[in-house]
């Protein structure tokens, strides 16, 4: 089955290319009766949008959301919910010049291998522009989760070798790199601007937290909650790794250090620490769900690199055009959307698990 669909009970299909006419999403399985407005979805899309600050691509897409179906009198109807935005500022001229060359680090070569043909304008379907649909669907998932007092938020933890030290949750939205550690945020901005000036790019780490998730979500074997969350984040462009809880740090610890010891608090069973990141045996344990994803440095860089033509002839490439010098800041709302989509899907599945 072509891989444009995600989720089991809350299913989304995204469609569209970076330089095509428009781009969007269809949600199938959204429960009826949820009050939702275009403005609420727009708010999330505005956090994802291009051209929003000096550390993002200069492509200027307004990304005005249109709800085409599935909402009547301000409420979801339970029928397929379709949403789209126009591509208003695509400029394919720079791509015309490099259409026979493979950009190192981008998907040009692999798309040719898979399909024998590709829409070379703006990376076509491989462009992060595809995530418009995910973020729009994520806005609806977030609203459904909020009814159960579940909140998903993310922030930039690291850019290049700059790692956040501390933060207050209230400040998460306050700066353009979306790092809640204000001091570090300023350094991150400078590092990104410098990388762009050098004709280069930077990678980073984003942390995602879900609060208020009840114990019991997730399936015990293949659709473990952590497996689905990892897949959701890994399915975002440029993501090269995902950690749950303490993640790879677990290799250094002994069992006695790693185990989250059970305690009873105000008549509720919980744990003293949260090294597991809120999931045990693939099932949520009621603690915060804590995840991290690493994004690689943007591959399209404005400096000469070696490459080959489609026919395998040696060549040089300098990728011009409008690219994010670091994808981390704009990936923050994408990560939240993907986690919200998994959680709403599993919440609906859990409703079927117990009478």
Ligand X SMILES: C=C(O[C@@H]1CC(C(=O)O)=C[C@@H](OP(=O)(O)O)[C@H]1O)C(=O)O
Binding residues: 48, 54, 125-127, 281, 296-300, 322
Interface with ligand FMN includes 327 (CB under 6 A)?
A: yes
Residues 331, 204: Cα–Cα separation, whole Å: 10
Write each residue from 29 to 68 as x if it is in contact with ligand FMN (CB under 6 A), else as -, in one continuous string: ----------------------------x-----------
Angle between helices 38-48 and 328-353 (to 10 degrees): 130
Coil vs helix vs strand at 269: strand
Q: CA distances (Å), 228 to each of 87, 220, 231, 285, 288, in order?
A: 30, 12, 5, 16, 16
Q: Among 225, 323, 335, 341, indicate the residue that binds ligand X (CB under 6 A).
A: 323
| Smallest distance, ligand FMN to C-beta of residue 183, A | 24
With CB under 6 A, what is the number of residues at the site for ligand FMN? 19
Write each residue from 82 to 101 as x if it is in contact with ligand X (CB under 6 A), else as -, in one continuous string: --------x-----------
| Smallest distance, ligand X to C-beta of residue 243, A | 23
Span from 35-43, 173-181, 276-284, 296-304 in contact with ligand FMN (CB under 6 A): 296-304
Q: Among 299, 341, 345, 346, indicate the residue that binds ligand FMN (CB under 6 A).
A: 299
326: which DSSP letter?
B
Burial class of residue 8 (count of CB atoms within 10 Å of its CB; 0-12, 13-18, 19+): middle
Residues 30, 263: Cα–Cα separation, whole Å: 37
Burial class of residue 11 (count of CB atoms within 10 Å of its CB; 0-12, 13-18, 19+): middle
Span from 191-199, 200-208, 227-235, 320-328 in contact with ligand X (CB under 6 A): 320-328
Instruction: Kindly provide the residue ranges of all beta strands, DSSP E only, lying in the chain, ordered along the sequence.
Output: 5-6, 11-16, 22-28, 66-69, 71-72, 75-76, 81-86, 151-159, 162-163, 204-211, 239-244, 262-265, 268-271, 279-280, 283-284, 289-295, 305-308, 314-317
Q: Among 128, 159, 164, 335, indicate the residue that binds ligand X (CB under 6 A).
A: 128
Interface with ligand FMN includes 238 (CB under 6 A)?
A: yes
And the tokens for 38?
A: 């275009």
Interface with ligand X includes 18 (CB under 6 A)?
A: yes
- Scan residues 218-237 and list those touching ligand X (CB under 6 A): 237
Q: Which lies closer to ligand X via its Cβ, residue 87 or residue 275?
A: 87
Residues 112, 271: Cα–Cα separation, whole Å: 50
Residues 221, 242: Cα–Cα separation, whole Å: 19
Residues 206, 163: Cα–Cα separation, whole Å: 11
- Scan residues 42-71 and list those touching ligand X (CB under 6 A): 50, 57, 59, 61
Binding residues for NADP(+): 48, 54
Interface with ligand FMN includes 237 (CB under 6 A)?
A: yes
Q: Among 47, 118, 125, 129, indicate the residue that binds ligand X (CB under 6 A).
A: 129
Span from 126-134, 141-149, 159-167, 192-200 in contact with ligand X (CB under 6 A): 126-134
| Smallest distance, ligand FMN to C-beta of residue 60, A | 13
Q: Which lies closer to ligand FMN via its Cβ, residue 275 or residue 298?
A: 298
Residues 355, 338: Cα–Cα separation, whole Å: 28
238, 297 Cβ separation under 8 angstroms:
no
Could you list the residues that contact ligand FMN (CB under 6 A)?
A: 57, 106-107, 126-128, 236-238, 296, 298-300, 323-324, 327, 330-331, 334
Could you list the residues that contact ligand X (CB under 6 A)?
A: 18, 50, 57, 59, 61, 90, 122-123, 127-129, 237, 321-323
């Amino acid at each position: 089955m072509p891989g444009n669909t995600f989720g089991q009970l809350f299913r989304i299909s995204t469609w569209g290319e970076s330089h095509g006419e428009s781009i969007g999403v269809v949600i199938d399985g959204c429960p009826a009766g949820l009050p939702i407005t275009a403005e609420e979805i727009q708010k999330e899309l505005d956090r994802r949008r291009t051209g929003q600050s000096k550390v993002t691509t200069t492509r200027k897409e307004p990304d005005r959301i249109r709800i085409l179906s599935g909402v009547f009198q301000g409420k979801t109807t339970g029928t397929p919910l379709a949403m789209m935005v126009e591509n208003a500022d695509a400029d394919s001229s720079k791509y015309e010049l490099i259409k026979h060359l493979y950009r190192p680090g981008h998907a040009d070569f692999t798309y040719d291998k898979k399909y024998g043909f590709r829409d070379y304008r703006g990376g076509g379907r491989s462009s992060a522009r595809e995530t418009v649909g995910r973020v729009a669907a994520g806005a609806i998932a977030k609203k459904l989760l909020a009814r159960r007092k579940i909140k998903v938020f993310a922030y930039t933890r690291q850019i290049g070798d700059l790692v956040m030290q501390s933060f207050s949750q209230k400040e998460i939205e306050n700066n353009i790199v979306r790092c809640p550690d204000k001091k570090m945020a300023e350094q991150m901005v400078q590092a990104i601007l410098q990388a762009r000036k050098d004709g280069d790019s930077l990678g980073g780490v984003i942390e995602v937290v879900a609060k208020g998730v009840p114990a019991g979500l997730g399936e015990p074997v293949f659709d473990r909650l952590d497996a689905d969350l990892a897949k959701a984040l890994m399915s975002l462009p440029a993501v090269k790794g995902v950690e749950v809880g303490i993640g790879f740090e677990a290799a250094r610890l002994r069992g006695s250090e790693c185990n989250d010891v059970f305690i009873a608090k105000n008549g509720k069973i919980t744990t003293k620490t949260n090294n597991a990141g809120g999931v045990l045996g693939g099932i949520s344990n009621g603690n915060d769900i804590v995840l991290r994803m690493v994004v690689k440095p943007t591959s399209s860089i404005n400096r000469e690199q070696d490459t080959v033509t489609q026919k395998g002839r040696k060549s040089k490439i300098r990728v011009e055009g409008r690219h994010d010098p670091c994808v981390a800041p704009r990936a923050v709302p994408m990560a939240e959307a993907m986690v919200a989509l998994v959680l709403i899907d599993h919440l609906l599945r859990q409703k079927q698990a117990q009478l």
